[in-house]
Amino acid sequence: MKRIATLALAVTVLVSIGGRAAVAQEEPEPSRTTSTTIPGATEIGDGYSFAGAVINTPDQPTRTFDNVHAATFVQSFLAWLYYGKPEVQSPPDGVPVSRVDVTGNYAAEGSGVVSAYYATDGNTVWLSYPRFVQPYRGDPAAYVPDPPNNWVTVPERVTEAFNGTAELVQTAGVVGATAPQNTDAAAAPSGSDSSSFLPWLIAAVVVVVVIGLLVARRRRAVAGPEEDDVREPARSGKG
């Protein structure tokens, strides 16, 4: 009887664990979405994303960039400044200088507005961009950026981005930021496979346990009562 009770308890425990595991498999994982401090910003990777820009050029109307064009503009020169071979050089006197106030998320520096300065004579392109600067987070009307002081030469692509004709390059950072992190279609196969396999596993365990119960009962019937069920008759006190 003890063996039968133990096997029955094992079946109960296995069925209970299996049921909980099945429920856990069927529950969908929470969706993972990318988030930025400034909403609607287009990411270019490594924590940099941009929501827009305002361009001021002497004797020209003020222009604005949306999130994609702002991201394209910064993408056109940011990697070049860190990993390229920019030549330190200032634009000649008389070349118009444009100020581009870019609003975005600047990785460890935080979120806000950072200004870049752009100039070209039609052949050479110059850019002044402050590295490791704290973005401005105050009132836009009171924003007074520092003047340019670190001019370098940059590729022609910066001019295309400044004119709004360049396209955002699909780098690893851009693709990773725009790709869906989790969808129902992608999550369904994994959950359905696990949940469909689990009932078969429980059924197999139950069959094994039932067979064990039958074998134990048969042995008990053949061998007679177990030792713990046999009671010795009381011995008489007479010799």
Tokens at 29, concatenated? 């994982």
> pLDDT tens, position by position, for the chain (239 residues)?
555 555 454 545 554 555 554 444 444 444 333 344 788 999 999 999 999 999 999 999 999 999 999 999 999 999 999 899 899 999 999 999 999 999 999 998 999 999 999 999 999 999 999 988 899 999 988 999 999 989 999 999 999 999 999 999 987 656 544 444 443 433 444 444 445 556 666 766 665 565 666 656 666 665 555 444 445 454 544 44
Query: In the beta sheet, which residues pair with residue 64?
Result: 54
DSSP class of 164? T
Query: In the beta sheet, which residues pair with residue 125?
Result: 120
CA 184 from centroid of its chain's CA atoms: 16
β-strand pairing of 111-120 with 48-56: unpaired
Specify the pTM.
Answer: 0.59
Query: Are 162 and 100 a contacting pair, CB within 8 Å?
Result: yes
H/E element, 136: none
Q: Where are the domains of the chain?
A: 2-30+197-225, 42-178
For 185-230, give the DSSP string: HHHHHHHHHHHHHHHHHHHHHHHHHHHHHHHHHHHHHHH-S-GGG-
Q: Which whole-number Å values give the CA distances from 46 to 40, 49, 61, 129, 202, in the listed order? A: 17, 9, 33, 18, 47
Query: Is the alpha carbon torsion for 20, 25, 26, 29 positive or negative?
Result: positive
